[in-house]
Structure 1
Amino acid sequence: MLKSYSWIDNHDLAIRGTKSRFNKIYKISNFLNIERFCLGIGGFYPTRIKRTPLIKLSTLFVYFITFGQMWVVTNFVVSTTDLSEISEVFLFSMTQVGFVSKLMNFLWRIKQVPLLDQMLEQEIFTRVTTEEMTIWKGTFKRVQRYLVIFLSLCAGVVVLYGVIPAIENTKSDRKHYPFPGRFPFDPDRYYYVIYIGEVVAVAVSAFMNGSGLDCLFTKHTVIATVMFKILCGKIEGLLDNVDKGERSAVEKRIRHCIVYYNEAVNYVSLVDRIFSYGILVQFLCSAVVICLTGFQMMLVMSFQSVKLGLMAIYFTCMMCQLILYCWHGHMLMEQSRGITQACYSVDWNNMTIKEQKMLILIMERAKKPITIKAAGVFHLNLATLMAILRSSYSYFAVLRQLYNKTK
């Protein structure tokens, strides 16, 4: 059930100086419409798209493509001892493992997903001032530009996976596929069917993983970060436009900030519960994929290879995916730390003892920064990003030694 904060209307003159500046409703949840649609057409987002027979068929298709392709590449890895071929196929299969893990975790928690939408529709978040609306819109536009770059890289990977084998076919008599696999039949007899199927598998994974799950989590994290940014502004302006005869307004403002803080913390906690286990597997897979992609580019492929461009874009795409998680998680942590500084910046000497105690309550709660964890193991911050990159380099060094010994 949505909570109502109608008392804001009764005291908006004391809170922001003019009534017109506070009578604005901004639908924060509209920022998530694209991701809801992307997951909804696959039948993976609740309550947004009616589960028609076509949607159910689409869901089965995604499952079939994803798990079928993993079975094919797994059989190939088991049947070969060539380290360069294993690494080429394994980097794609690890990407698939990360995607499937996030998808299964999301479906496991899917009953809690509508609660996020309900929390964003609470009046305490949607009723904003002109300045706060500017912050929301400006942040959303900036983040959307970053996500467009990430999605463009994903699209580039899909296109190159489809184009490069066709180029290689013109240079040799042997038929080339987007990625090798082992089939219980002669794949050359069904070359075009398998070729199109593999490209579709890459496209479906990129669409659901990048456009759906990755962007959805990133936007939820950004929304939480803006909540704490706005809260800092509310705290810093506790004494703005307050006359001596309106001291009761300060106490109401502090109570409003406490409620706002509690709701923001609850929102972050719910985001953490829904996505955290999938993020842990994604981090482990990302460390392996970055290592294998670097191994392919630096040791296996020559500079004349047409696949070098594919590996370069793939590497950049995986790095961007990892940065999306860690950077925005770090920004959330830093913004939540700013609440204590905002409390210090208030002219608390002009507050009553009761108001000072209420302010101290906020400061004590804000001593521990708000973070999102990967299954309670890793914090999403820049330190974790560097740890993953160090691990990737360690794996790369081991692979390089093994590869040099087998040459």
Structure 2
Amino acid sequence: MGLAGYYPLAKDKHITLQRISATFFTFIALSYLILGIIFCIKNLSNLGLLSEACAFLLTEVTLIVKMFNFFYYKRNFLLMEEMLRSPLFTEVDAEEENILKENLKTSKIVEILTIIQVLVNISVETLYALFEKKLFLLMWFPFDPAEHFYAVYFFELIACFSGATLAVTIDVLLVYLLDLCAVQCTLLKHRLIKVGATFTGDEAVDDRVRIEKLEKYTIHHDEIYSFAGLVESSFSMGTFVQIVCSSVIICFCLFKTLITPLKSIEFGMLVAYSYDMLWQLVLYCYFGQKVVNASETITEACYMSNWYNCSLKVQKHLLMIMNRANTSVVVTAGGLFPLTLEMLMAILSTAYSFFTLIWKVYNDA
């Protein structure tokens, strides 16, 4: 995102290069959007072609919204960087470091799988289009694109790879940030469980140490909520549009597969494209659910802290943390869709209903 000109730099040393880069990528994305809309308008009567064009076009809409949303909230990322450098997040012992590494493995695996998946799908689609001498993005041109095939193909290649790179980068960044929220909750749970352990045997000394730790943990807990709030505000609108558009894209792709020959390469590419969209929805909701689950264990950790062996003052501190933890850390999309597995099932159910409507309209036409 830094190379694309959207990620904020701590220093304005390369601000001119950033602006040039951001202008270039924005121009490519908007050009495809405009040309794609014109193509759709000109093919309103062809439902099969229109559904395929709309599927690709909605992908571009989500990318543009993500790009502008990322740019609008770019200062939030500097705030998040500053929070992640805080001693509350960085000062860990060997045992806690192992907890962090273990719990961050999933997001690292997801990053690798997402990159491989997108690269393979795009490479197959673009190479197939080159061999078949056909354009893979449906756009309108004020000239016959067949007469300028390689020039148009090169433009589509740039639009496809640049768009995919930016989209994957934003999605992977969101996954990592959500995973960091969940990991910090897991780390706080681990620390709270150990609060009731005896330190020296001197009740007065132990009481003072426990209170100091709990005051620090209370601040840590609040920082987790603040961090999750920054993540939500920075990605909320882009995630909301992605969820809505991905649901519609899945419907269009499923419809297109039903009218496409089963043994054709186009059928396989449509299935792969549908899988990409479904993968994005699963990622958002899975890691959103992971944050919810991890935050809900804070109350459990207070119960497991041997609180009955602590002084009344320590117990009051634990009670305060428990009351705060009654409100789970829930990241939403657009303030409407909580990123949870329950919401994923609701989204897929709605998408299926929309698909049956499209299929009915097609059969009745």
1:239 and 2:231 matched: no
Contact conserved, 1:323 with 1:385, CA < 8 A, in 2?
Answer: yes
Contact conserved, 1:225 with 1:335, CA < 8 A, in 2?
Answer: yes
Contact conserved, 2:330 with 2:339, CA < 8 A, in 1?
Answer: yes
Task: Provide the C-alpha distance between the structure 2 equivalents of 1:48 and 1:318, rounded to a whole number of angstroms.
Answer: 34
Contact conserved, 1:329 with 1:381, CA < 8 A, in 2?
Answer: yes
- Given candidates 53, 58, 61, the residue that maps to 1:97 is 61
Partner of 1:131: 95
Task: Provide the C-alpha distance between the structure 1 equivalents of 2:310 and 2:198, rounded to a whole number of angstroms.
Answer: 14
Task: Provide the C-alpha distance between the structure 2 equivalents of 1:277 and 1:390, rounded to a whole number of angstroms.
Answer: 22
User: How does the TM-score come out when normalised to structure 1?
Assistant: 0.85
Partner of 1:202: 160
- The structural deviation recorded for 1:199 is 1.8
Contact conserved, 2:36 with 2:57, CA < 8 A, in 1?
Answer: yes
- The structural deviation recorded for 1:54 is 4.5
- Kindly provide the CA deviation profile for residues 242-279 of structure 1, in whole angstroms up to 9, marking residues without a partner as x: 23313221111211211111111111111111111221
Partner of 2:2: 40
User: How does the TM-score come out when normalised to structure 2?
Assistant: 0.95
Partner of 1:30: none
- The structural deviation recorded for 1:286 is 1.0
Within 5 Å, give how 1:350-369 maps onto structure 2: 350-369=309-328
- Secondary structure of the residue aligned to 2:263 is coil
Task: Provide the C-alpha distance between the structure 1 equivalents of 2:333 and 2:142, rounded to a whole number of angstroms.
Answer: 39
Partner of 1:26: none
- Kindly provide the CA deviation profile for residues 189-211 of structure 1, in whole angstroms up to 9, marking residues without a partner as x: 2110101111221111100011x
Task: Provide the C-alpha distance between the structure 1 equivalents of 2:148 and 2:6, rounded to a whole number of angstroms.
Answer: 31
Structure 2 spans left out of the alignment, 5+ residues: none
- Given candidates 206, 231, 234, the residue that maps to 1:271 is 231
1:373 and 2:332 matched: yes
1:387 and 2:350 matched: no
Partner of 2:182: 225
Within 5 Å, give how 1:124-273 maps onto structure 2: 124-169=88-133, 176-210=134-168, 212-245=169-202, 246-247=205-206, 248-273=208-233
Partner of 2:36: 73
Task: Provide the C-alpha distance between the structure 1 equivalents of 2:361 and 2:158, rounded to a whole number of angstroms.
Answer: 34
Task: Provide the C-alpha distance between the structure 1 equivalents of 2:226 and 2:142, rounded to a whole number of angstroms.
Answer: 51
2:337 maps to a residue whose letter is F
- The structural deviation recorded for 1:48 is 5.9
- The structural deviation recorded for 1:82 is 0.6
Partner of 1:15: none
- Given candidates 324, 333, 336, the residue that maps to 2:283 is 324
Contact conserved, 1:89 with 1:180, CA < 8 A, in 2?
Answer: yes
Partner of 2:358: 399
Contact conserved, 2:104 with 2:183, CA < 8 A, in 1?
Answer: no
- Secondary structure of the residue aligned to 2:182 is helix
Task: Provide the C-alpha distance between the structure 2 equivalents of 1:364 and 1:295, rounded to a whole number of angstroms.
Answer: 49
Task: Provide the C-alpha distance between the structure 1 equivalents of 2:157 and 2:251, rounded to a whole number of angstroms.
Answer: 23
Within 5 Å, give how 1:3-14 maps onto structure 2: none
Mark the CA change 1:195 to 1:177 in structure 2 (over 3 Å): closer, same or farther: same
Mark the CA change 1:353 to 1:280 in structure 2 (over 3 Å): closer, same or farther: same
Task: Provide the C-alpha distance between the structure 1 equivalents of 2:237 and 2:301, rounded to a whole number of angstroms.
Answer: 33
Contact conserved, 2:285 with 2:343, CA < 8 A, in 1?
Answer: yes
- Secondary structure of the residue aligned to 2:104 is helix
Structure 1 spans left out of the alignment, 5+ residues: 1-38, 170-175
Partner of 1:342: 301
Partner of 1:285: 245
Task: Provide the C-alpha distance between the structure 1 equivalents of 2:343 and 2:10, rounded to a whole number of angstroms.
Answer: 34
The count of aligned residue pairs is 360
Task: Provide the C-alpha distance between the structure 2 equivalents of 1:241 and 1:102, rounded to a whole number of angstroms.
Answer: 50
Mark the CA change 1:263 to 1:347 in structure 2 (over 3 Å): closer, same or farther: same
- The structural deviation recorded for 1:139 is 2.7
- The structural deviation recorded for 1:180 is 2.5
- Secondary structure of the residue aligned to 1:337 is helix
Which has the higher mean CA deviation after the structures are superposed, 363-372 or 300-309?
300-309
Identity of aligned residues (%): 28
- The structural deviation recorded for 1:403 is 1.6
Q: CA RMSD in A?
A: 1.5
